[in-house]
Amino acid sequence: MISVSAALQLIREHCSPLQPQKIALKDAAGKVLADDIIAPIDIPAYPQSSMDGYAFSFAGWKAVGDLGLFGEIAAGRGDKMELPAGKAVRIFTGAPVPPGADTVVMQEKCRISDDELLIEDPALQTGDNVRPTGSEISAGALALEKGSLLTPAAIGFLAGIGLTDVNIYPSPEITIIVTGNELQAPGEPLSYGQVYESNSLSLTAALASLNIPVKMVYRVEDRLEALVKILEHALENSDMVLLTGGISVGDYDFTLKAALQCGVEQVFHKIRQKPGKPILFGKKGQQLVFGLPGNPASVLTCFYEYVLEAISILQSRQVKMEKRETSLVNGVKKPAGITHFLKGLYDGVSVLSLDAQESYKLNSFAKANCLIKIPEDITLCQPGELVEIHLLPI
Ligand SMILES: Nc1nc2c(c(=O)[nH]1)N[C@H]1C(S)=C(S)[C@@H](COP(=O)(O)OP(=O)(O)OC[C@H]3O[C@@H](n4cnc5c(N)ncnc54)[C@H](O)[C@@H]3O)O[C@H]1N2
Ligand code: MOO
């Protein structure tokens, strides 16, 4: 059995980023940029009016007073007009401000009299209501850094500088295998000795919150040959396989055996922690295998504490939980030599360790917003003591 920190270190040593892929920008929402993006052109590409009104030379206006009118420029006008001195041109939002003009007055702040523009905007200054060329971004400047998350705004920004595709770190292809003869699908009647299968749903939901679709979910009975067959198939098609159940010492626990039989190299098995003690982490080539202990709270705790660490590396993005120090509302006791991860409720000031911490219960986990980490050597935490919490990414 190894410590929590040794397990995390081994995960870091055995994971590496997935190969970047070029994809269409329209499909890139939620992905992570694998390259710096340099703006290919100035945006705006021309001085652009930000108002409906009139464009003119500010210095010219100050010199001559009222301005004569000279045509109009609507957004999208492609021919470049030159504005004669002493003139103002009718202009609309988004339209190019022509050479010879440097300022736009809003139409609400001027009036036309005898074909002349009378500007009634005492606060107006040179350059007002004009978006200068390159003022969003100039050609050659860093538009978005490698590692940035492609949010809707980031996608719009990159489209706005003319990009059609981007290099991203792909989402890992993840297959879930749940094991157990006792598992019954929710919605079906529950016979004696059966439990409703929930691990694949909680894991799928946890991955969905990271924008990672699950490639496939398999349900396998407690039979070595059956598990080997499915695991072999999953390994051929996945970057990561998450198994749940069958990783302890029972006669029907076949996860470790099946993994070894499939050529998976065991990196570690068992961490000095509760819940989730018998977790397995292994590797076959570049493919990662987590054998998560079947108890539903063990599955999720191990997912948050360890699988997130691996996904962060595969995708070159931080999806790990935010850590904070805060004071504990209620005291907790535990034996030495084992790290505990307790379901907690953090209100921004202090954290309450919830009831129902057993690993077969999700009742308290369903209400928790963090895990409280009580280190190996601590046996007693008094109310008011500082503890480390890991905020759940929910
Ligand atoms: N003699 C020992 N027994 C056990 C030990 C031990 O050290 N010595 N460790 C215990 C600990 S700690 C854990 S954690 C569990 C892990 O067991 P497995 O990974 O082999 O999991 P299973 O036995 O298959 O299942 C455990 C539990 O979870 C329920 N389960 C399983 N899969 C699902 C699912 N998909 N959805 C909902 N519930 C599921 C299953 O019915 C069991 O109740 O081992 C202890 N035993
Ligand atoms: O390590 Mo287990 O998850 O406590 O029941």
Q: Please give the average per-residue pLDDT across 147-151, as a whole number.
A: 90
Q: Evaluate: CB of 359 within 6 angstroms of ligand 2.
A: yes
Mutate to test the pocket of ligand 2, among 4, 270, 277 (most ligand atoms within 8 A of CB): 277
pLDDT single digits (tens) 61-83 = 999 888 999 999 999 888 888 99
What pLDDT, on a 0 to 100 scale, did the predictor assign at position 40?
95
**How many angstroms separate the alpha carbon of residue 372 from the centre of ligand 2?**
16
Does residue 211 carry a pLDDT above 90?
no
Which SS3 state, helix, strand or coil, does residue 295 take?
A: coil
| CA 354 remoteness from chain centre | 28
Q: Give ipTM to 2 decimals.
A: 0.98
C-beta atoms surrounding 297 within 10 Å: 26
Q: What is the pLDDT of residues 248-258, one digit of tens each?
A: 889 988 999 99
Residue 6 has pLDDT above 80, yes or no: yes
Phi-psi label, residue 81: left if phi above 0, alpha if psi -120 to 50, beta otherwise: beta
As a residue count, the chain comes to 394
Span 78-94, pLDDT tens digits: 888 899 999 999 999 99
Half-sphere exposure in the Cβ direction for 155 (13 Å, CA): 14
Q: What is the mean pLDDT of residues 45-56?
A: 96
Token pair of 88, please? Answer: 């103002």
Query: How far does the centroid of ligand 1 lie from the alpha carbon of residue 180, in Å?
Result: 9
Nearest ligand 1 atom to alpha carbon 197: 36
| Average pLDDT taken over every residue of the chain | 95
3-state secondary structure 139-158: CCCEEECCCCECCHHHHHHH
Checking phi first, is residue 292 left (phi over 0); if not, alpha (psi -120 to 50) or beta? beta
> 49 by DSSP, 3-state: which?
strand
Bridging pattern class, strands 386-391 and 322-328: antiparallel
Residues at CB less than 6 angstroms from ligand 1: 178, 180, 182-183, 195, 197-199, 244-250, 253, 275, 277-278, 293-296, 298, 359-360
The letter for the amino acid at 85 is A
Q: Which tokens belong to 344?
A: 């907690």
Q: Among the bound ligands, name the one nearest to the CA of residue 280.
A: 1
CA atoms within a 13 Å half-sphere pointing along the CA-CB vector of 189: 2
Neighbour tally for 343: CB within 10 Å = 27
Q: What domains lie within the chain, and their CATH numbers?
A: 4-19+171-314 (3.40.980.10), 29-42+137-169 (3.90.105.10), 48-131 (2.170.190.11), 322-391 (2.40.340.10)
Bridging pattern class, strands 142-144 and 37-38? antiparallel
DSSP state string for 98-142: PTT--EEEEGGGEEEETTEEEE--TT--TTTTEE-TTSSB-TTSE
Q: What is the largest CA-CA distance in the chain?
A: 99
**Rounded to the nearest 5°, which phi and psi values hold at 101?**
-125, 150
377 neighbors 339 (Cβ within 8 angstroms): no
**What are 339's two structure tokens?**
């790290």
Cβ atoms < 10 Å from Cβ of 121: 15
Q: Which ligand 1 atom sits closest to the C-alpha of 299? A: 14
Q: 73 C-alpha vs ligand 2 centroid, how far in Å?
A: 72
Interval 217-258: pLDDT, tens: 999 999 999 999 999 999 999 999 999 999 988 998 899 999
What is the arithmetic mean of pLDDT over 259-286? 97
The C-alpha atoms of residue 243 and residue 246 are separated, in whole angstroms, by 9
Q: Does the pLDDT value for residue 106 go beyond 90?
A: yes
